[in-house]
C-alpha cells in the first residue's frame, strides 16, 4: 500500500506541471489575435541605387566629403562668426532643442514604466465613539489608531512589451537628436546662402554705379558735342535716357542689398537691424567638390535626414513589438507590508504586523477590436516611415547627382563668361576711343556699353549661382555630419546634443 501511495504522489506531482502548462496554453489560446496584420513596407536595398552614370563626366575622388567647418572654404572669416551667432540665437535651434527635451522626457517615462512602483503611507487618527456607535451602548469613548505600510506594484512584462516601448521611445529620441543636427545644418546653409546673395548683390551694385558713371560721362560728352554743333538733339536724348535707366538700375541694386541685410538679420535671430551691422562680404570662392565613388552607401551615414528617417523606422519596429505584447496574458505583482495598532506601545509588536502578496494575471479576451486597430495603425505608421526613408534616400542621391553636375556646368559657363566679359570690355574701350575721335557714331558706343553691362551682370550672377549651388552641394552631402562619429549620450542612453558642432563623446559620457 505504501508503494501505491508513493506512485500516486509522484503521478500527482507530474500532473501539476502538466496542468499548469495546459492552463497557460488555454489562456494564450483565448487571447485576442493579431493574425493577418503585418507591415508591408520594405527598406530599399542600396545596391539598387547608383549615380555613376548620371555623373559620368564628373571627376570622382576617393572620399572628398565636406568638413564640419565647411564654410571656411568660402574664404571669409566673418561668415564663420555669423553662422555661430545664428546657431546660438536662432529660434529654429530653440525649437529643435525643445523637441529633443520632449523626446528625452518620453524616454524617461517609458523607462519608468519598466520599474516597480513603491509607495509608503503613515496614518494617525483620533476618534470619539458616540453612544450609538458603541456596541456596549456606553459611548464617550476615545480611541487612537496608528498605521504604517509600504506597497509594491510590479509589471513582470512577460513578453517584453514595456521594454519594446522603451526602445521605441529611445529610437524616436535618437531621430529627434539627429533632427537637431539637421536643423543646425539647414540654418548654417541658409546663413551662408544669404551671405553669398549679399555679396553678389553688392557686386551688382558696384556694376550699377559704374554703369551710371559711364552713362554720365557719355552724356557730358554728347552735351559738349551738341554745343559745338558736332551732334544732333537725338543723340543727346539717347544718352540722357541711358542715364535715367542707369539710375533706376542703381536704385534696384541698392534695394536688393537692403533686402539681403534684412533677411540675414532675421536668420541671425536678432531682427532686421542686425543685418545692417554686417560688414560687406569679401569676394568669395566656391568650394568645388567632387563626388565620392561610394556616395550611395556612404550617404546613408552622412545625411542627417536619412539617419533620422532610419531611426524612426527602428522606433516603429519596436513599437510594433510593444503593441503585439498586449495581445498576450500579463502578470502583475502587488505586495504590501506594514503595522497597525490602536496602542502605541504595541505598534511594532508581532500582532500589529500585516502583509499581503497579490499576483494578478490579466488576459484580453474581448476588447472590441481595439488591440487589432491599434496594431494596424502602428504598422501603417511603420509602412509610412519606411516609404519616407526610401523617398529620402532616393531624393538625397538624386539631389547630390544633380547638384554636382550643376556645379561643374556652372564652372564651365563661368569660364566662357569671363572671356565674353573681357572681349566686351575691349570693345567698349575701343568704341569710346573711336567716338571721341569722331570716327564712329554714338550708337556703336551705346551698343558696346550695353554688351559690357550685360556681360558684367551675367558674370556676377553666375558667380553667385555657382557659390550658392556649391553650398547646396555641401548640404546634399551632409555638411560634414558623420554618423560614425557618434554624438554623445548619457550612460542611460538619452541623446544629449546641445551643441550641433559636437563630433564625439565627452570625457564623462558614453557613446551608445
Q: Is residue 9 part of a domain?
A: no
Pair (238, 306) in one structural domain: yes
In the beta sheet, which residues pair with residue 360?
Answer: 332
Pair (151, 51) in one structural domain: no
SS3 assignment, position 126:
strand
Pair (316, 418) in one structural domain: yes
C-alpha cell at position 263? 533677411
Confidence bin at 59 (pLDDT 50/70/90): low
Pair (146, 278) in one structural domain: no
> Residue 132 burial by CB count (10 A; 0-12/13-18/19+): exposed, middle or buried?
exposed
CA distance 25 to 14: 17
Instruction: Give the domain extent around 348.
Output: 117-132+141-156+331-363
Pair (255, 172) in one structural domain: yes
Q: Is residue 487 part of a domain?
A: no
Strand order in the sheet with 330-341: 117-129, 141-155, 330-341, 353-362
Q: Left, alpha or beta for 75 (phi > 0: left; psi -120 to 50: alpha)?
A: left
What percentage of the chain carries pLDDT values higher than 70?
A: 76
Q: Is residue 289 part of a domain?
A: yes
Predicted pLDDT at 237: 81
Convert the pLDDT of each residue in 2-44 to its tens digit. 445 555 445 445 545 555 554 555 445 555 666 667 777 777 7
Pair (272, 387) in one structural domain: yes
Residue 489 in this model has a pLDDT that exceeds 70: no
CATH number at residue 346: 2.20.200.10
Give the total number of structural domains in the chain. 2
Residues 6+ apart with CB under 8 A from 250: 205, 208, 209, 211, 212
Mean pLDDT of 396-419: 86
Q: Determine phi and psi for 430, rounding to 5 degrees.
A: -70, -40
Predicted pLDDT at 409: 86
Closest to 291 (Cα-Cα) out of 49, 47, 63, 46: 63
Pair (309, 400) in one structural domain: yes
CA distance 272 to 258: 10
Q: Is residue 457 part of a domain?
A: yes
Q: Is residue 270 part of a domain?
A: yes
CATH number at residue 429: 1.20.1600.10
- Residue, of 12 and 135, whose pLDDT is higher: 135
Q: Is residue 26 part of a domain?
A: no
Pair (446, 341) in one structural domain: no
CA distance 350 to 339: 9
Confidence bin at 266 (pLDDT 50/70/90): very high
Q: Is residue 36 part of a domain?
A: yes
Q: Is residue 220 part of a domain?
A: yes
Pair (230, 319) in one structural domain: yes
Predicted pLDDT at 508: 35
> Residue 108 burial by CB count (10 A; 0-12/13-18/19+): exposed, middle or buried?
middle
Pair (195, 299) in one structural domain: yes
Return the H-helix or E-strand segment holding 124.
Answer: strand 117-129
Confidence bin at 276 (pLDDT 50/70/90): very high
CA distance 371 to 326: 7
Residue 506 in this model has a pLDDT that exceeds 60: no
Pair (62, 148) in one structural domain: no
Return the H-helix or E-strand segment holding 261.
Answer: helix 233-267
Pair (244, 171) in one structural domain: yes
Return the H-helix or E-strand segment holding 191.
Answer: helix 161-227
Most confident by average pLDDT, 42-46, 412-416, 442-446: 412-416
Amino acid at each position: 500500500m505504501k508503494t501505491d501511495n508513493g506512485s500516486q504522489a509522484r503521478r500527482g506531482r507530474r500532473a501539476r506541471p502538466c496542468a499548469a502548462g495546459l492552463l497557460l496554453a488555454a489562456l494564450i489560446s483565448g487571447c485576442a489575435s493579431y493574425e493577418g496584420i503585418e507591415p508591408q513596407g520594405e527598406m530599399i536595398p542600396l545596391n539598387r541605387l547608383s549615380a555613376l552614370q548620371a555623373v559620368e563626366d564628373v571627376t570622382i575622388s576617393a572620399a572628398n566629403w565636406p568638413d564640419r567647418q565647411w564654410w571656411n572654404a568660402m574664404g571669409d572669416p566673418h561668415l564663420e562668426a555669423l553662422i555661430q551667432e545664428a546657431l546660438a540665437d536662432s529660434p529654429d535651434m530653440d525649437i529643435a532643442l525643445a523637441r529633443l527635451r520632449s523626446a528625452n522626457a518620453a524616454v524617461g517615462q517609458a523607462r519608468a514604466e519598466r520599474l516597480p512602483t513603491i509607495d509608503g503611507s503613515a496614518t494617525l487618527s483620533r476618534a470619539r465613539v458616540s453612544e450609538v456607535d458603541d456596541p456596549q451602548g456606553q459611548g464617550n469613548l476615545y480611541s487612537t489608531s496608528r498605521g504604517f505600510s509600504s506597497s509594491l506594484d510590479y509589471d513582470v512584462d512577460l513578453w517584453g512589451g514595456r521594454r519594446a516601448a522603451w526602445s521605441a521611445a529611445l529610437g524616436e529620441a535618437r531621430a529627434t537628436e539627429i533632427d537637431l543636427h539637421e536643423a543646425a545644418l539647414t540654418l548654417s546653409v541658409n546663413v551662408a546662402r544669404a551671405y553669398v546673395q549679399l555679396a553678389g548683390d553688392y557686386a551688382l551694385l558696384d556694376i550699377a554705379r559704374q554703369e551710371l558713371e559711364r552713362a554720365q560721362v557719355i552724356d557730358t560728352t554728347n552735351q559738349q558735342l551738341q554745343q559745338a554743333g558736332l551732334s544732333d538733339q537725338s543723340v543727346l536724348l539717347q544718352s540722357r535716357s541711358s542715364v535715367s535707366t542707369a539710375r533706376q538700375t542703381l536704385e534696384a541694386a541698392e534695394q536688393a542689398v537692403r533686402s539681403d541685410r534684412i533677411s540675414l538679420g532675421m536668420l541671425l535671430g536678432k531682427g532686421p537691424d542686425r543685418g545692417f551691422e554686417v560688414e560687406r562680404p569679401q569676394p568669395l570662392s566656391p568650394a568645388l567638390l567632387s563626388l565620392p565613388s561610394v556616395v550611395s552607401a556612404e550617404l546613408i551615414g552622412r545625411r542627417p535626414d536619412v539617419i533620422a528617417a532610419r531611426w524612426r523606422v527602428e522606433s516603429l519596429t519596436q513599437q510594433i513589438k510593444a503593441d503585439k505584447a498586449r495581445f498576450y496574458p500579463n502578470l502583475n505583482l502587488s505586495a504590501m507590508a506594514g503595522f497597525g495598532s490602536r496602542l502605541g506601545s504595541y505598534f511594532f509588536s508581532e500582532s500589529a504586523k500585516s502583509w499581503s502578496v497579490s499576483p494578478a494575471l490579466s488576459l484580453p479576451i474581448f476588447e472590441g477590436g481595439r488591440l487589432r486597430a491599434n496594431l494596424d495603425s502602428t504598422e501603417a505608421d511603420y509602412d509610412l516611415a519606411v516609404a519616407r526613408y526610401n523617398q529620402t534616400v532616393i531624393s538625397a542621391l538624386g539631389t547630390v547627382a544633380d547638384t554636382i553636375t550643376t556645379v561643374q556646368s556652372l564652372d564651365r559657363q563661368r569660364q566662357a563668361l569671363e572671356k565674353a566679359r573681357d572681349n566686351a570690355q575691349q570693345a567698349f574701350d575701343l568704341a569710346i576711343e573711336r567716338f571721341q575721335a569722331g570716327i564712329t557714331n554714338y550708337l556703336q558706343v551705346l551698343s558696346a556699353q550695353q554688351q559690357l553691362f550685360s556681360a558684367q551682370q551675367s558674370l556676377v550672377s553666375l558667380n553667385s549661382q555657382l557659390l550658392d549651388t556649391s553650398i547646396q552641394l555641401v548640404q546634399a552631402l551632409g555638411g560634414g555630419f558623420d554618423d560614425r562619429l557618434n554624438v554623445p549620450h548619457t550612460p542611460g542612453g538619452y541623446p544629449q546634443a546641445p551643441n550641433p558642432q559636437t563630433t564625439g563623446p565627452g570625457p564623462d559620457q558614453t557613446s551608445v
